């Protein structure tokens, strides 16, 4: 691992509160194809922790981006699983969490958003706010997470900058506060007007966008002379923004009511430096985090952390299991013995690693805001809390989304039934899929439940490649899910268009082919106690 990414010597004896002030922990959220993984890598490039950007997916002969390590991500060109990257930039420690953009993996993204202090919302300059972006922003709003907006792909044809800002205000009620403003329409990108000092910042394109785009700065007078009409238009639009009250308001940003807006091109590696600087200047540092009772856990209290992600298969040579934990308070030191809040058993942290995508290095110490990887942590699951000292602390668990797609899973090789069960159990612990059991189908035919159908593709691919247990899936026709309030009514719910399934957490679910079937059964049997499956995601 590059020395740049390792924590400095000062970290070895630092005060947790002082170190927390140096941390910036954020996620990048967007609709698929907005350029999220490309931006993630451009940020790492600007921080000089990699020397050359990876390929935009699909270009032959170029490697994939560092945050996409799963084989399906490389072949399909989309992010399927979240990734953690940590590096230093201007004496700050950046914890960057890349997230899946596809709606089928919303559950993974939601878990990541529980572990960050800020989010970067990435917009495609031609498409603006897209459905998945709006959904993820709603989660940020619900959790009070401040959002920085980065308008990407300004080097390609797109919409008007003012129109995009109006869309933020009109569609999601977020007041835009542009800090940079594009000079040149989308597709004719000359550079940006830095509204904080009035300078023009231009850039030079590099071969394939593989390296940082060199910048050149000009005063307003120089820009007016050299850039001409495009500079004049940019300054007039900037003045209009000031008149409309859209200048930076730090307090409104902290309240998640307004968003700093920047323009750039991740594939050209321009505008990314501005984004990093804004993150350092305005994104909140880690602070007290509420426990499950709403009581704040101060960052200077003894060590505590919660697991927001579990992943296997990151190292194909060892097939180890990594639990990603966000440090919430105190100092983490490798080897410390913590208490598992759920079981009250001791947990040793001997194998702790600092993550940089698929790459990893042993981490000796970590502080609030940092994300650490606990290796071979079979006792840990998503939502678990670790802590030291007294009193005990437990952070809120992770809700499960309401599934919308169902399939029966069967092994194609009866001789590998143990691997079949073990593999599915592992994927359930990671949160890749939900596993349901049916009294009528039996243990050999569990029902897989998913938010989106692409989750089934991930399960099929990973069961074959990682667990050497190919399976076949039989899609089920169910589209409506309800929680059964009275498990004694199970027999009443078995019909030709409905079925009763049990989740591992003890929840009994009734699934129906459609709303009409459910309502028809309720009319025939009005005593049925059916309730909505509620998750705290909105």
- How do strand 508-512 and strand 405-411 relate by DSSP bridges? unpaired
Q: What's the CA angle centered on 120, arms 117 and 123, to 5 degrees? A: 160
Give every strand in the sheet of 215-218, ordered side by side: 180-183, 191-194, 199-203, 215-218
| Cβ 275 vs Cβ 180: under 8 Å | no
Q: Report whether 457 belongs to an annotated binding site.
A: no
Q: Report whether 99 belongs to an annotated binding site.
A: yes
Cα separation, 131 vs 290, in Å, equals 30
Backbone angle region of 134, left / alpha / beta, with phi > 0 → left and psi within -120 to 50 → alpha: alpha
Closest CA to 194 of 159, 231, 228, 227: 231
Q: Report whether 188 belongs to an annotated binding site.
A: no
Q: Report whether 100 belongs to an annotated binding site.
A: yes
Distance of CA 469 to CAs 277, 314, 411, 458, 506, Å?
48, 18, 7, 14, 27
Closest CA to 475 of 443, 450, 458, 492: 450
At residue 141, φ and ψ (nearest 5 deg) are: -60, -45
| Cβ 174 vs Cβ 257: under 8 Å | yes
- How do strand 385-387 and strand 337-340 relate by DSSP bridges? antiparallel
Cα separation, 521 vs 538, in Å, equals 29
Closest CA to 498 of 520, 517, 516, 474: 517
Q: Which DSSP category does 262 fall into?
A: E
Q: Report whether 16 belongs to an annotated binding site.
A: no
Give the count of alpha carbons within 13 A of 412, CB side only. 11
Is the sign of the CA dihedral 318, 355, 266, 114 positive or negative?
positive
Q: What tokens were used for 344?
A: 């009250």
Closest CA to 194 of 182, 186, 208: 182
Tell me whether residue 255 is exposed, middle or buried, using C-beta atoms within 10 angstroms of its C-beta: 0 to 12, 13 to 18, 19 or more. Answer: exposed
Three-state DSSP at 277 gives: helix
Binding-site sequence positions for GTP = 98-102
Annotated binding site: 98-102
């Amino acid at each position: 691992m590059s020395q740049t990414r390792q924590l400095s010597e000062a970290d070895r004896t630092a005060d947790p509160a002082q170190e927390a002030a140096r941390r910036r922990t954020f996620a990048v959220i967007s609709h698929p194809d907005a350029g999220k993984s490309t931006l993630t890598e451009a940020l790492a490039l600007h921080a000089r922790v990699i020397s050359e950007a990876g390929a935009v997916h699909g270009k032959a002969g170029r490697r994939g981006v560092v945050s996409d390590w799963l084989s399906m991500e490389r072949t399909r060109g989309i992010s399927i699983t979240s990734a953690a990257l940590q590096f230093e930039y201007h004496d700050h420690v950046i914890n960057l969490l890349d997230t899946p953009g596809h709606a089928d993996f919303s559950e993974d993204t939601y878990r990541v958003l529980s572990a960050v202090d800020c989010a970067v919302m990435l917009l495609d300059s031609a498409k603006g706010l897209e459905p998945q972006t709006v959904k993820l922003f709603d989660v940020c709003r619900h959790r009070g997470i401040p959002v920085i907006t980065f308008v990407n792909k300004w080097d390609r044809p797109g919409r008007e900058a003012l129109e995009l800002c109006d869309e933020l205000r009109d569609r999601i009620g977020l007041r835009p506060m542009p800090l940079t403003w594009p000079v040149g329409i989308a597709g004719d990108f000359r550079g940006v007007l830095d509204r904080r000092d009035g300078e023009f910042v231009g850039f030079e394109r590099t071969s394939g966008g593989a390296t940082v785009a060199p910048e050149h700065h000009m005063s307003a007078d120089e820009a007016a002379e050299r850039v001409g009409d495009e500079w004049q238009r940019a300054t007039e639009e900037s003045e209009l923004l000031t008149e409309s009250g859209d200048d930076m308001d730090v307090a409104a940003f902290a309240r998640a009511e307004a968003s700093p807006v920047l323009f750039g091109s991740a594939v050209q590696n321009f505008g990314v430096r501005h984004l990093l600087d804004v993150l350092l200047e305005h994104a909140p540092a880690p602070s007290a985090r509420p426990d499950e009772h709403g009581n704040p856990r101060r960052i200077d209290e003894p060590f505590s952390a919660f697991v927001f992600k579990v992943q296997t298969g990151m190292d194909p040579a060892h097939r180890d299991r990594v639990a990603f934990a966000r440090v919430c308070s105190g100092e983490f030191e490798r080897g410390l013995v913590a208490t598992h809040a759920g079981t009250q058993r001791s947990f040793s942290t001997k194998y702790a690693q600092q993550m940089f995508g698929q790459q990893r290095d042993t981490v000796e110490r970590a502080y609030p805001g940092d994300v650490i990887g606990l290796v071979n942590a079979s006792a840990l699951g998503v939502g678990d809390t670790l802590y030291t000292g007294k009193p005990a602390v437990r952070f809120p668990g992770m809700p499960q989304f309401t599934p919308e797609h169902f399939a029966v899973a069967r092994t194609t090789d009866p001789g590998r039934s143990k691997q079949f069960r073990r593999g599915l159990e592992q994927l359930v612990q990671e949160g890749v899929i939900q596993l349901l059991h049916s009294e009528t189908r039996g243990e050999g035919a569990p029902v897989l439940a998913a938010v989106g159908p692409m989750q089934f593709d991930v399960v099929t691919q990973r069961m074959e490649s990682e667990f050497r247990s190919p399976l076949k899936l039989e899609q089920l026709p169910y589209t409506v899910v309800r929680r059964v309030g009275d498990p004694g009514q199970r027999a009443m719910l078995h019909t030709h268009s409905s079925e009763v399934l049990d989740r591992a957490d003890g929840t009994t679910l009734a699934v129906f082919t459609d709303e009409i079937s459910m309502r028809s059964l309720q009319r025939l049997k009005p005593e049925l106690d059916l309730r909505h499956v509620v998750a705290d995601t909105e």
